[in-house]
Structure 1
Amino acid sequence: MERVTTDRRLSMTQQLVVDLTQQILAGELPAGSKLPTEQVIIKERGVSRTVVREAMSRLQAEGLVETRHGIGTFVVDTARPGDFQGSKHVKGGAYDALAVIELRLSLEVEAAGIAAQRATPEQLLAMREALDVANALDPTDDDSARADFEFHLQIAQCTGNSFFIDAIAHVGNTLLAVVQQAGPVVTGENRALVVREREQVYAALARRDAEAARASMRLHLINVQQRVRALTELTAQ
């Protein structure tokens, strides 16, 4: 019983960390803004004080927030020099996108395999909902890249491994900055292919086929890499 209780608390902590990280990276909680108080979060989310404090500790460790004694917890400037997740790392548009995808290949392929073994029915449902949103958006929509990454972040969450979740959440901030500078990689011409690739990833996860999940994620990211490389060559002409 203790193990079940502990696992549930960890899952709730991870969900809170992911949600707040997304809000910070999306600018919904901009640098300098004050986070809701501990009491407000407990009431709104129905979690314990322990969950809130563990989540805040994680966010502090990741350099996303800082607690000022007697005042509250505030979002720090995520674009500070030296931070992994800052947009200042983005210098070459599509060229930097290739470097980001190399990192994603090293992280997300294995994350997909682990997620296939650990995803709960509730997590698969959340992943399905995120995928439906991503598939429905026009590639030129400003929210398209963010919706795509929400799907990938849901996969990371299914691993139950906080290091995968944190790393991929941080990669997301850099990725979105790259897309903003380089322009959309998905076009009307390749949209159907991208949708099919993502559906293949989800199908493998849903049937809990770890090897197929790894293979489909690798194929998807390699194809993204090729599309970005084509965009890079076009830009250079």
Structure 2
Amino acid sequence: MMQPDWRPQPPRAASARMSMVMRAVAEYIGRSDLQPGDCLPAERVLMAELSVGRSTLREVIRHWQALGVVESRRGSGTYLLRRISPETMHLPLVVNTGGNGLLQMMEVRRGLEVEASALAAIRASAADLELIESKLLTMEAVFRENGCAGPEDLEFHLSIYDACGNPLFGQLLSQMRESVQTLFAMSRVRTDFASRSFPFHRELFEAIAAKDPDAARAKTLSILAIVEEDIKDMIT
């Protein structure tokens, strides 16, 4: 029998608001004839010009950063990297965050993440490995304390995406932002969600550090298989 109570509901109002602000910012950029390399107006200026809230505006900027549309430089501002308009802007993929949608997302994630792990094993620099290990240590510490580590788990996997040397992987994951966040938030509903995959995360890091792409693929598949099993268990 289906158990609908566990399912985190998609923040439809927030998504609609973000899409509206995204379009408004894109139209503003178009009207202002900003070109790649130009600095965007200060946050307070955009808020006043477009009558938008700070939190949603920052969410749009973070989303575009992940897509490689803008770049924030500390102490300098946010710079346009690619020409953007309402016709060309990237909107998040529409993914059903119910049980079946999460399983569909897992199929896509498996294709992305397995290859990203293998590429990271081939291409990761010493600095990349140091960052991945730091994310792993944080995840392990939180897991030992709380029995789960949803956001920290996500940060670990994102660091592997960054180390694979292909920014398209991170951009594609960003397009599934809402469903990915829903997936990693499941640990708030069921604290042991995917906990059996915990040991494989260190083994995945060790495979990447050893520059063994086949082992990295295998460990990633082991992690994702457990996540998929737990999703199925929660929706049946």
Q: What TM-score do you get using the length of structure 2 for normalisation?
A: 0.60
Contact 1:116 1:206 in 2 (8 A): yes
SS for the counterpart of 1:137 is helix
Residues 1:170 and 2:175 aligned together: yes
Name 1:84's counterpart in structure 2: 92
Contact 1:139 1:184 in 2 (8 A): no
Name 1:69's counterpart in structure 2: none
Contact 1:120 1:158 in 2 (8 A): yes
SS for the counterpart of 2:55 is coil
Residues 1:214 and 2:199 aligned together: no
Residues 1:124 and 2:152 aligned together: no
For 1:42 and 1:137, locate their aligned partners in 2 and report how far apart those are by CA, in whole Å: 29
1:128 positional shift: 0.7
Residues 1:161 and 2:186 aligned together: no
Name 1:32's counterpart in structure 2: 57
For 1:119 and 1:185, locate their aligned partners in 2 and report how far apart those are by CA, in whole Å: 34
**Which amino acid in 2 is paired with 1:194?**
S
Contact 2:151 2:184 in 1 (8 A): no
> Alpha carbons of 1:135 and 1:212: their partners in 2 closer, same or farther (altered >3 Å)?
same
- Is the deviation greater in 104-113 or in 159-168? 159-168
C-alpha RMSD of matched pairs (Å):
3.6
Contact 1:96 1:178 in 2 (8 A): no
1:150 positional shift: 0.9
**Which amino acid in 2 is paired with 1:41?**
R
Contact 2:92 2:177 in 1 (8 A): no
1:43 positional shift: 3.7
For 1:59 and 1:122, locate their aligned partners in 2 and report how far apart those are by CA, in whole Å: 31
- Is the deviation greater in 200-209 or in 165-174? 165-174
**Which amino acid in 2 is paired with 1:201?**
L
Q: Which has the larger radius of gyration?
A: 2
Name the count of aligned residue pairs: 172
> Alpha carbons of 1:110 and 1:140: their partners in 2 closer, same or farther (altered >3 Å)?
same
For 2:216 and 2:189, locate their aligned partners in 1 and report how far apart those are by CA, in whole Å: 23
For 2:193 and 2:154, locate their aligned partners in 1 and report how far apart those are by CA, in whole Å: 20
**Aligned mate of 1:109, from 114, 117, 130:** 114
> Alpha carbons of 1:116 and 1:59: their partners in 2 closer, same or farther (altered >3 Å)?
farther
Q: What TM-score do you get using the length of structure 1 for normalisation?
A: 0.60
For 2:100 and 2:154, locate their aligned partners in 1 and report how far apart those are by CA, in whole Å: 19
> Alpha carbons of 1:58 and 1:232: their partners in 2 closer, same or farther (altered >3 Å)?
farther
Deviations 1:28-86 (A, max 9, x none): x73234969x9x82547xxxx9xx64xx335959947xxxxxxxxxxxxxxxxxx3346
Deviations 1:4-38 (A, max 9, x none): xxxxxxxxxxxxxxxxxxxxxxxxx73234969x9
Q: Structure 1: state its 5+ residue gaps.
A: 1-28, 65-82
1:131 positional shift: 1.2
Contact 2:193 2:230 in 1 (8 A): no
For 2:205 and 2:232, locate their aligned partners in 1 and report how far apart those are by CA, in whole Å: 25
Residues 1:148 and 2:153 aligned together: yes
Contact 2:117 2:208 in 1 (8 A): yes
Name 1:137's counterpart in structure 2: 142
Identity rate of aligned residues, in percent?
Answer: 22
> Alpha carbons of 1:177 and 1:159: their partners in 2 closer, same or farther (altered >3 Å)?
same
1:198 positional shift: 0.7
Name 1:14's counterpart in structure 2: none
1:140 positional shift: 10
**Which amino acid in 2 is paired with 1:90?**
N
1:167 positional shift: 1.1
SS for the counterpart of 2:171 is helix
1:112 positional shift: 0.7
1:187 positional shift: 3.6
1:139 positional shift: 8.9
